[in-house]
Chains A and B, each alone.
Chain A
Amino acid sequence: MIAATALSEASRLQFAELLDQHRRMVFKVANTYARPSDREDLAQEIAAQLWRAFPDYDPSRPFSTWLYRIALNVGISHLRVHAARERQTVPLEVELHDAADPSHEPDADDASRFLAKFIAQLDALNRALLLLYLDERSYREIADILGISETNVSTKINRLKERLRRFGETHGTR
């Protein structure tokens, strides 16, 4: 699993192309699990793990599922190491998105902050579940990525909805 197999030039190009197409997933995971100052490092770490695992990638299976598994595993490990070291919550970086959009509206900022706060108080696995749900992955794909049953995904999504309602009551939605 750890041996980095030498890839042919064609494979290298194929990997680069696939990674380019799916790069937003990498950054979404990095933003969900890393503090702003560590986000770039985590994205690099995810990309490196993808690169090392690519020789074993089965093209008959969806690339996004494979990528999400690796990215989430790396992201969660990153969060655990940093949480153990710093005992701090890891907020989603809202400023990145705001800075990218000069015409951002104050209302949108509030919603972004609310989302960031909600994600920050979730444990690592529930963050993964929420990220996949927000990314409109099917329950089947979420189950496949996380390694739990579809029924469990459905149950946990309902619990997340309930948690969100309670969180909204205590923190305000707008």
Chain B
Amino acid sequence: MELDDLRQQWQAMDRKLDRSIALNLRLLTEKRTRWTKLRLVPMLLLQPVQIVIGLALTIFFARFWIANLGTWSLVISGVFLHVLSIGLIIDAVVRTLLIVRINYAAPVVTIQRYLALMRRWEIRSFKWGWVAIWLAPPALLMVGAKLSTTLNLWNVAPNVVIYTAIGGLVGVGLSYLFDRWTRRSPRLNAAMNSMYVGYSIAGAQALLDEIDEFARE
């Protein structure tokens, strides 16, 4: 069978399709638009909120470590949280820049590429965010203790900081091992995918490669 033979079949299906359409798209549109708008609003609002929170935290932690320049343990804690706060801003800015480029009326390859880039960014952001959640507690404890009691926790109870840091590192390691383990089991991998669509960076990269390959002559 040749491609042009399929054209005839396609046209025959097309004629039948016309007779089978009983849906009223006008009605559907009005009903669906409200739902779509509701779904998109949080995504739009979240980015400026994240930028504002990131800015506030950046200023807060910068002031903290500058005020404690003489104490290396407090400077390290403050700078670490300062960097994480900047990461929050960068994450929201990059996501916003990608979102505003997604105009579905643009050529298919262009938009699919932006969507794939956004997917890759989301996955990276999720994974780095998860690492930050595990590693931030000792720094937060140090900053919290200093601000609430003016004590340097590293001098008073270094074991608390060390054990919290070790716990964080173990958490990162276990998360990594869990990630590797779920990839080996198709069922677990599918479950992870249903929880977080586009779970694998390799998958997102493969998608980008597929799009680039299609666009290449």
Minimum C-beta distance from A34 to chain B (A): 14
Q: Which residues of B contact A70 (CB under 8 A)?
A: 104-105
Q: Are A87 and B190 in contact (CB under 8 A)?
A: yes
Using A69-B108, A147-B215 as known contacts, say yes or no to A136 and B7 having CB atoms under 8 A apart: yes
User: Is B184 positioned at the interface, with any CB of A under 8 Å from its CB?
Assistant: no
Chain A residues near B11 (CB-CB < 8 A): 134
- What residues on B are CB-neighbors of A20 within 8 Å? 25-26
The bracket for how many chain A residues form the interface is 35 or more
- Decide: A51 and B20 in contact? CB cutoff 8 A: no
A-contact bits for B122-156, CB 8 A (1 contact / 0 none): 00000000000000000000000000000000000
B residues 19-38 near A (Cβ < 8 Å) are 19-21, 23, 25-26, 28-29, 31-33, 35-37
Residues in chain A near residue B2, CB distance under 8 A: 161, 164-165
Identify the closest chain A residue to B110 (Cβ): A147
Are the CB atoms of B16 and A66 closer together than 8 Å?
Answer: no
Residues of A within 8 A of B216 (CB): 152
On whether the beta carbons of B104 and A74 are closer than 8 Å, the reply is: yes
Q: A69-B104, A98-B16 are in contact. List 20 more A-B contacts (CB 8 A).
A: A43-B23, A47-B32, A52-B36, A53-B105, A57-B105, A69-B107, A76-B112, A77-B115, A80-B207, A85-B190, A85-B197, A87-B193, A96-B20, A100-B17, A111-B6, A111-B9, A112-B13, A115-B10, A157-B3, A164-B3
* Residues of chain B having any CB pair with chain A under 8 Å: 1-3, 5-7, 9-14, 16-21, 23, 25-26, 28-29, 31-33, 35-37, 40, 44, 99-100, 102-112, 115, 186, 190, 193-194, 197-199, 203, 207, 210-211, 214-217
